[in-house]
Amino acid sequence: MNCIFCKIGRGEIPSEKVYEDEDVFIIKDIDPKAEKHYLMIPKHHYKLISDMTDDDAAALMRGLRKLPALADKLGLKNGYRLVINQGDDAGQTVFHLHVHILGGQYLDFPDLKNK
Ligand code: AMP
Ligand code: ZN
């Protein structure tokens, strides 16, 4: 399958991996949108929340629950924002579900409706 995140997971494409367990890995985003920008990527490939199995949901939640313990090491001790882009309106560009982890600074919360 020609999926960049699956290739990163298999080590076929280099990445800056900062965490890995049996469920997920976390890499630095190649084009950061905040002082700290990571991606939590489930090891199992699926595109959308609507494609998730119960096992996928449990695996992602196990991964997310590791974040509080990792926050200090990742420079996120003052807080962070999680974003999951889903589909065209959200501008999803990689079709392997992933959670953006943004922080390392105060994060404005823009009002997008008039843009
Ligand atoms: P999304 O638009 O929500 O699908 O997010 C895809 C994210 O993947 C973007 O923030 C990209 O900067 C990031 N990205 C794409 N290719 C790579 C890569 N090879 N290594 C790290 N991050 C990547
Ligand atoms: Zn994939």
DSSP 26: E
Active site (annotated) includes residue 37: no
DSSP percent split of the chain into helix, strand, coil, nearest 5:
20, 20, 55
pLDDT bracket for residue 14 (50, 70, 90): very high
pLDDT (tens digit per residue) in 61-75: 999 999 999 999 999
Pocket of ligand 1 (CB under 6 A): 4, 13, 15, 27, 29-31, 39, 85, 91-94
Give the atom of ligand 1 at the shortest distance from the alpha carbon of 28: 21
Q: Which of 37, 44, 45, 98 is catalytic?
A: 98
What the block records as the tokens of 41 is: 């990527």
Q: What is the pLDDT of residue 114?
A: 83
Nearest protein Cα to ligand 1, atom 12: 31
Neighbours of 40 (CB within 10 A): 23
